[in-house]
Structure 1
Amino acid sequence: MVTTIHEETNAAKRFFGLLAVITGARCGELTQLTKADIYEDGDNGLLCIDINANNGKALKNKASARVVPLIDGAFGFRSEEFREYVASLPDEENSSVFRMSRDVASKWFNEVILPKAIENRSGDLVLHSLRHTMATLLKHAGVAESTAQDVLGHTNQSITFNLYGKTKSVNLMAEALKQALPEPAGLQHARV
């Protein structure tokens, strides 16, 4: 029986779950990712996901379009393994990286992973709760609210932040995520 994401034998499900944990991305954002949306940022060598509305993908709002760096080691995520998984996928245009609908991915996570990962889980904790957890981790790590909003794709009403438009620093977001999601010393896989 699967007790954590790391024990999931289906690579698509395992990587979907890990990306949900380490990015705080919405379920629909992750299930719409295509092979073209996974890339290495040339400026700093970080593996990133590009959450966008290209080729008919839907976003919650304009702020949802963003690039999020994937932090190697966070909760046991290994970027090289994910690179290899993505490279093994067919080059079909608009084909989902995880090959699951939003409903299938959410149901799997909520019914298989969460009950095993969180003892005495209340019914109101679901996949989407990871976004709240990510926001809390970023806040407790002292990450600037504007950077946290960039990571999570939240709409920002501040005139000051809106003046800077879409220019977001992948490096700044990566440092914020590293700060909020450190790899536990001596622990290869957190219980997720």
Structure 2
Amino acid sequence: MSSSLSPIDEREDYTKEEVSKLINIIESFEDDNKRVIYLTLIYTGMRLSELWKATIKSDNGIFYFDLTNKNLKLKTKSSYRVIPLHDELVRNDVHKKLSKALSTLKPSSISHYFTDYIKPKISSNNKKVLYSLRHTFATQLKYADVNPIVISELLGHSHEGMTMGRYANRYLINVLKEAIDRLEF
């Protein structure tokens, strides 16, 4: 069933203050596995389903999520991409802890826990959901003056136009890393 609302009207992004509140809530978790997963969603803009498909690799000291394996079932062709780990994720040892977290928890449990226990402490707005973290990621990068094409690449969206979509190569990992580290909550 398709919605009559435009995507922008279906969900709203969280404010920086709401994300800060969310981070404070998840940092108090005794369950390190949940904390790692929610932090990753905040600082990568990944879809929940992508998180369980990504692998973490390293290139010249930059850790990144690798979603380039063509055997993965992703939403679109543009979804096959790399996403550098934000400095905050590295400080929280996500590159060391995520594998255990993903093997311990299921996407549905992460989604339900967020909806039932976390979100009510942050916002009563029904348009703000777990997926809104993806919108927030894009909006905050935009506010940080990150090139829109870089934002599209990080989110796994297609580049507009023939030149960028067909002829231009993807950005180097260090350019993506510089962009993603502009996020501040």
Q: Same fold (TM over 0.5)?
A: yes
Cα gap change, 1:131 to 1:80, in 2 (>3 Å): closer
Does 1:47 pair with 2:63?
A: yes
Q: 2:68 & 2:107 partners in 1: Cα distance?
A: 16
Q: 1:58 aligns with which of 67, 73, 81?
A: 73
Q: 1:17 & 1:98 partners in 2: Cα distance?
A: 15
Give how far 1:105 is off.
Answer: 1.8
Q: 1:25 & 1:32 partners in 2: Cα distance?
A: 11
In structure 2, the residue corresponding to 1:4 is in which secondary structure?
helix
In structure 2, the residue corresponding to 1:136 is in which secondary structure?
helix
TM-score normalised by the chain length of structure 2: 0.76
Q: What corresponds to 1:167 in structure 2?
A: 170
Q: 1:10 aligns with which of 31, 51, 56?
A: 31
CA deviation map 1:150-186 (0-9, x unaligned): 111112231121134553321111111122x13xxxx
1:96-107 correspondence runs (5 A): 97-107=102-112
Q: 2:114 aligns with which of 99, 109, 125?
A: 109
Q: 1:100 & 1:49 partners in 2: Cα distance?
A: 19
In structure 2, the residue corresponding to 1:39 is in which secondary structure?
strand
Q: Comparing both structures, which one devotes a greater share of its residues to helix?
A: 2
Q: What corresponds to 2:93 in structure 1?
A: 81
Cα gap change, 1:24 to 1:161, in 2 (>3 Å): same
Give how far 1:110 is off.
Answer: 2.2
Q: What corresponds to 1:93 in structure 2?
A: none
Give how far 1:115 is off.
Answer: 2.0
Contact 1:26 1:128 in 2 (8 A): yes
Q: What corresponds to 1:176 in structure 2?
A: 179
> Please, what is the CA RMSD of the aligned residues?
2.4
CA deviation map 1:55-77 (0-9, x unaligned): 5x42110111111001113xxx3
Contact 1:13 1:98 in 2 (8 A): no
1:119-158 correspondence runs (5 A): 120-158=123-161
Number of matched residues?
163
Identity of aligned residues (%): 31
Contact 2:46 2:155 in 1 (8 A): yes
Identify unmatched segments of 5+ residues in structure 1: 90-95, 183-189
Identify unmatched segments of 5+ residues in structure 2: 1-21
